Structure formats: C-alpha cells, structure tokens
Amino acid sequence: MDNFTRKDFIRLTSLGIAATLLPVQKINAISSLAKIKGKTTDDDFQTAFLLAKTAKQNFYNKNFVDAESQYLRCISLAPRAIRFYDGLDNVYCAQGLPLLSVELFKNGMALNPGVIAFYDRAARSLMRLELGNKLLALDYQAKISSPSLLQDAAKLYERAISIDNTKKYLSVGYEKVLAKIAIAPLIPGYKVNRVFKNLKNANRNTYKAAINQKTDEEINALIKKIDTKQRRELFKNKEIEERTINMLLQKKKYYDILQKRGTLTTVEEFDNAVKLFEIDYKDPNSLRKLRLLYYSNNRFFDFIDVRKRFAAASGTFHGYLGVMDTMELSYKKQQAGTEVLDEALLIGLDIKENWSLSFQNETEVVIKIVKILLLLSRSSEAQLMIEGLMMKVKTPTISVNNKLILFYSKIFMEQNPAMSKNILLIGAKEVSEIERMEMESKDPNLGLVGQLADNKSKDKFKDNISLYYQLFFAHMALGDVTSATDILDRLLVNNPLDSFVLTRA
C-alpha cells in the first residue's frame, strides 16, 4: 500500500462518495457501517508517525501529491489518530480544496463516532466551506439536501458536547458557529462590511483589554514565551522570514505596552526602549522614545550611534539629516569635538553630491551644511554654498525662500550685523523699492535676497515671523534698542502669547 490514494481511503470506509453526500442527521446511520477491520498496533502507529514526518516535509516543500499519498497511508495504518487527518487537511487547504477536507473529516467521523475531535474538525470544515467559497458551498448544500452548512456545523458541535462537555474548544467552536449564523442574514446586504468590521474591532478590543490587564511580570513572561515556544519546523526562506517578523512585531507590542504604562524604573525604561528599537531599527516611533531617554539623561554623543543605525536601516534622506542634527547637538553640548562636525559635514556633502533630491530637500541639506560650516568658523564656504543655491530658486513657496534668507543672514551676524540686518529687511519687505535699489547697488549679493523676497508674492507678516525674530537680534547686535523694541511690539500685536516676546519684554 505504498501508493495509497484518496480513493483507497474512501473504499476502506465501505461508503464511497455516499459518505460525503449524506446530511448530518444521517451520520449516526453511517457510523455503524464505516469501520476498518482490525486494531492499530504499536508498530502500525510508529510506522505512521515516521511516515507523517516525511509527509509534513513534503507539504512544506509544496510537494502536495506525495504529501497526500503519505498522509492517506498514515490514516490507513492509524485511522483513529486525528493528527494524520489534520496533516492531510492542511494539504487540501493549501491547494484550495475545501470539499476534500469536508469529505475527509466526515469519513473520519464515521470511522470514529466516539472521538469528539472528529466532530470538531468536521464542523470546522463545513464552516470553512460555507464562509470561504459561497458558490461551491451552495452546490454542495444542494447535493446533500442541507438547509445550511453552518446549521450542520452547529449540530455537530451539539453532538460532540453531548458526548463530552468538558472540552473548552468544543464550546468555543460552537459559539463561533452561532456567531456566524447570527450575521449570515446580513451577508447579502450592503452592511456586511460594516458588520464584519465592527465584529473584528470588538474582538481586537477584547484582546487588547485582556493584555492591558496583565501585570508587568506577566507581560515579560509573554515576551520570553515568544522565544521559547515550540514551533513547527519551516523550510522556505520566505516563511522563516515572515515568522521572524511576526515574532518581532508581537514583542514590539508588548514592549510598547510596558513603555506606555510609566511603571518602569529609569533603568528598566531605558532597557525596554533599547529592546524596542533593536526589534526594528527603522521604526521612527521607537527612535523617538529612545531619543527622549538619551536626551533626558544628557547622552547626546551616545545617541549618534543610534541615529546611524536608524539611518542605515531606513536608508532615507531625513534619516541621515537626523545623524547630522545629533552630531551638531553633541558638539553644542560639549560632548564632542570638531571631529564630529567634520563627519557631519562629510555626510551632508555626500547627500548633496550623490543623492537625487528635490529642490526643497536640497535646501534642507544645504542649510544643515551651512550650520555645520558656521560652527567650524568657515563662513566664507557657507556663504558661497548658500548663494549658489539662492541663484537657482524659482519656487514661490514661502518657507523655502524664508529659510534661505534666514540662514544667509546668520552667516553675517557675528562679523557684519549690519549686513545681516539689511538681508532681513529686504527679505521681510520692510524697505521701499528705492531703498532696496540703493542697498543692492552697494552690495550686489543683496540682489539675490531681493529675488527671494519677490518669489514670495503673497506673504504676510505672520509668514515672516522667523525673519523678525532674527531681525530683533540684528538690531540688538547693532545697539539699536529702539528698533529692536519696535519689532517686539509688532510681534506682540500679531500674537499676544508669543513666548519669544514675553521672555524678552
């Protein structure tokens, strides 16, 4: 019987295809007839057990023909062992053959009328058929003269519970069938999606509530269980990768719950945030949580390595700009020397030269580079770089034009605050056309600023707030307190709660 087939199995039941065409109420009549002679010996079961391992491997390798034949052989050796039926059911389901699963478990139930597991599997197979393939289900329903496959499934559970009412999985399955029966009339209607969506959301909320009620110790135990749980062996790289991702996502949910509770000590919170980040280096939410902890503990330099890992994993433009930001901050906090600025500069130049950037993104990179150059006291290079970009500006976007005007003014703030003031006055349109022409005739570079100001055809006072903040500093640097105070008054009229003004009033 090495080449044991499905037909052989059905023949052994002495029922043939009739077993699959009888309604559920006639199962009792079948059970007395469907018997394979003889009992399963220990040797038979051991042979079936070893053969099932080979069948399982063939299933994972998607060699379904051999897997089916081997599982059928296992069933012939041990017809009362549900595990072999489950294996064959997986083979049928993987091929989209729900009718064969129904056929399989009805015959198995006929052979084993006292084993409740077969009633459960038969009920599940009917429910899968009803919900998974409506046309096929209706055809099958007509052949067996059944009013409802879901009702048949419910009757199977009722019969199983009458045999043994101690098994929880039977009551759970029964409740699930009843729930499906309750919403079945709504399926043809337009509300079906809403019904299933609400049901799905309710189940999800119930699960979340159950998890949130667990203690920190119980959550940590669940995290450990993810690694220690015994799982079936996988052979396909894609399946292994998917399982790994799902395990990591589950851990991530648990770590996130612990993080949000606020019950952890500082050490535990930090350790938890690190573990959360290590699950997925490219997750911005995990990065944000870790950044808050690093910064609140004055560990700006240490955070550079975290930023680098995020940038490498995400491979995004803003990921690398974040590295530059952290390097700049660590220098300002006196946790690193100029070598970290040199590295930040190299990152910025590499992005500018080798990445395909929109003009807006190029503007962001240039501004980052300019900030680094100013910290390195290389203002001439910063001026040339930003002027080169200003010559290319065509966009009417107010924020882009104002960023360039603002940082261009900052280049001159220390050594030439008057130039910085003029840049800001032109950029904020605080001078007349005649005054602007006179200023530009004295310094042609101011003409570039004028072009940026002209790009902003529809800007208002509130659009130029950042320029007025900087203009205040320019007036103060020149000792012009009256003009600086006038700027504060105008800002206060625009926004009485402006913190910049209130801290300087």
Tell me how far apart the alpha carbons of residues 373 and 377 are, in angstroms, rounded to a whole number. 6
What's the confidence (pLDDT) of residue 185?
66
Return the amino acid letter for 319: G
Tell me how far apart the alpha carbons of residues 94 and 96 are, in angstroms, rounded to a whole number. 6
Tell me how far apart the alpha carbons of residues 364 and 360 are, in angstroms, rounded to a whole number. 6
Q: Taking a C-beta distance cutoff of 8 angstroms, is the pair 373, 381 a contact? A: yes
Tokens 């329903």 belong to residue: 141
With 50 as the cut, is the pLDDT of residue 476 above it? yes
Q: Is the pLDDT higher at 194 or at 156?
A: 156
Tell me how far apart the alpha carbons of residues 17 and 20 are, in angstroms, rounded to a whole number. 6
Q: What is the three-class DSSP state of 284?
A: helix
What's the confidence (pLDDT) of residue 396?
84
What's the confidence (pLDDT) of residue 5?
59
Tell me how far apart the alpha carbons of residues 363 and 15 are, in angstroms, rounded to a whole number. 78
Q: How confident is the model at residue 97 (pLDDT cuts 50, 70, 90)?
A: confident
Tell me how far apart the alpha carbons of residues 414 and 377 are, in angstroms, rounded to a whole number. 11
Which uninterrupted H or E stretch holds 60? helix 42-60
pLDDT tens per residue across span 415-452: 899 999 999 999 999 999 899 999 988 888 899 999 99
Q: Which two tokens stand for residue 410?
A: 């900052």
Q: How confident is the model at residue 187 (pLDDT cuts 50, 70, 90)?
A: low
What's the confidence (pLDDT) of residue 124?
94
Residue in 100, 102, 187, 96 with CA at minimum distance from that of residue 133: 96
Tell me how far apart the alpha carbons of residues 391 and 402 are, in angstroms, rounded to a whole number. 14
With 70 as the cut, is the pLDDT of residue 192 above it? no
Q: Which long-range contacts (CB under 8 A, 24 or more apart) does 23-28 make?
A: 23/144, 23/145, 23/146, 23/152, 24/146, 24/152, 24/155, 24/156, 25/155, 27/106, 27/109, 27/110, 27/113, 27/159, 28/113
What's the confidence (pLDDT) of residue 175?
92
Neighbours of 379 (CB within 10 A): 18
Q: Where are the alpha helices (DSSP H) in 214-297?
A: 216-228, 237-261, 266-279, 284-296
This prediction has a pTM of 0.58
Q: Please tell me what DSSP assigns to residue 368.
A: H
The per-residue pLDDT of the chain, averaged, comes to 85
Residue in 384, 393, 329, 321 with CA at minimum distance from that of residue 355: 321
With 70 as the cut, is the pLDDT of residue 69 above it? yes
Q: Taking a C-beta distance cutoff of 8 angstroms, is the pair 102, 122 a contact? A: yes
With 50 as the cut, is the pLDDT of residue 70 above it? yes
Q: Taking a C-beta distance cutoff of 8 angstroms, is the pair 340, 330 a contact? A: yes
With 50 as the cut, is the pLDDT of residue 37 above it? no
What's the confidence (pLDDT) of residue 212?
84
Q: Is the pLDDT higher at 195 or at 322?
A: 322
What's the confidence (pLDDT) of residue 227?
82
Q: Which domains does the chain have, with CATH numbers?
A: 6-207 (1.25.40.10), 214-224+235-279 (no CATH), 399-505 (no CATH)
Q: Taking a C-beta distance cutoff of 8 angstroms, is the pair 401, 456 a contact? A: yes
pLDDT tens per residue across span 259-316: 788 777 778 778 878 887 888 888 888 888 889 889 988 999 999 999 999 999 999 9
Q: What is the three-class DSSP state of 77?
A: helix
pLDDT tens per residue across span 370-419: 999 999 999 999 999 999 989 988 888 888 899 999 999 999 998 899 99
Q: Is the pLDDT higher at 388 or at 17?
A: 388
What's the confidence (pLDDT) of residue 207?
82
Q: Is the pLDDT higher at 343 or at 227?
A: 343
What's the confidence (pLDDT) of residue 23?
43
What's the confidence (pLDDT) of residue 466?
94
Tell me which of 14-28, 83-97, 246-260, 431-445 is least confident: 14-28
Tell me how far apart the alpha carbons of residues 6 and 15 are, in angstroms, rounded to a whole number. 13
Question: Average pLDDT of 124-135?
Answer: 88
With 80 as the cut, is the pLDDT of residue 19 above it? no
Collect all residues with Cβ–Cβ distance below 8 Å to 242 and sequence separation of at least 6.
none
Tell me how far apart the alpha carbons of residues 432 and 428 are, in angstroms, rounded to a whole number. 11
Q: Return the percentage of the chain with pLDDT > 70, whole number.
A: 89
Q: How confident is the model at residue 6 (pLDDT cuts 50, 70, 90)?
A: low
